[in-house]
Structure 1
Amino acid sequence: MQESGENYLETILILQNKNGSVRSIDVARKLSVSKPSVSRAMGILRDDGFITMEANGELVLTEQGRARADAIYERHRFITRFLADVVGVSPETAETDACRIEHIISEETFDKIKEYLAEK
């Protein structure tokens, strides 16, 4: 899956946790992208089995989508914490950089970061 697809899944998860339900317009606003871009992405995520779209327009993560979104968001949270608390960058920079790093970091490196933070 491409980075943009992972960003969409993570955003749906965050918005569902915050608001209870999510529509395409919510995702477009959160990511500052156009509604047609979200529509295209949601079609791909639906076809790949990561989301369903209800008749009322609500986006719902499938079990597979939820698992993928949870994994991405976990990486985001741990990397943000590591950058802010261990490396010492500002919370804003940690958040921005984590958004980029979470998609390319190896499983081995991520596991070591989690291990390191668990010891603290």
Structure 2
Amino acid sequence: MSKLTVSMENYLEAIYELSNGNSGVRVSDISERLGVTKPSVNSAISTLAEKGLVTTEKYKKVYLTPTGLEQAKLTSKKHQIIQKFFTEVLKIDAAVADQDACSIEHVISSDSVQAMQEYMQANANKEKE
């Protein structure tokens, strides 16, 4: 599968978080979450469906396919780790950390995210000692 655009990753992440990973999501909920129009959501959903990442029927809910779910989980996990690193280690304001994490999650390597996670785990273990 070709690399997804930042926008497409954001749609997958929004669907994943709104659905708790296992239920369908309405176009209007995605639109509200991302601050975009319903026609924009419909266009993105068509693209994601062509890539085999979501399934939907006209005027019905949008569902992640197993491949879409895997991609969405990865993006969401990156976001959470980066945000936690920014707030807990760097002491950045939560709102700023969330916004920055949303931008960075699309370009940062998995190795860098793993290093952040390992750093936080090592420090948590030191604090317990």
Superposition TM-score, scaled by structure 2 size: 0.88
Backbone CA RMSD of aligned residues: 1.6
Once the two structures are superposed, the pairs formed by residues 1-120 of structure 1 within 5 Å of their partners are: 1-17=4-20, 20-54=23-57, 57-119=60-122, 120=124
The answer as to whether partners of 1:54 and 1:60 remain within 8 angstroms in 2 is no
Q: CA deviation at 1:55?
A: 5.5
Q: CA deviation at 1:95?
A: 0.6
- The 1:91–1:19 alpha-carbon spacing in structure 2 relative to 1, beyond 3 Å, is farther
Of all paired residues, the percent bearing the same amino acid is 36
CA distance in 1, matches of 2:57, 2:119: 41
Q: CA deviation at 1:73?
A: 0.3
Structure 2 gap segments, 5+ residues each: 125-129
Paired letter, 2:33: K
The answer as to whether partners of 2:21 and 2:69 remain within 8 angstroms in 1 is no
Superposition TM-score, scaled by structure 1 size: 0.94
The answer as to whether partners of 2:23 and 2:63 remain within 8 angstroms in 1 is no
Greater CA radius of gyration, 1 or 2? Answer: 2
Paired letter, 2:75: I
Report the 3-state secondary structure (helix = DSSP H, G, I; strand = E; otherwise coil) of the residue aligned with 1:60. Answer: strand
Paired letter, 1:93: V
CA distance in 2, matches of 1:55, 1:31: 20
Deviations 1:9-29 (A, max 9, x none): 000001001994311111001
| Count of paired positions | 120
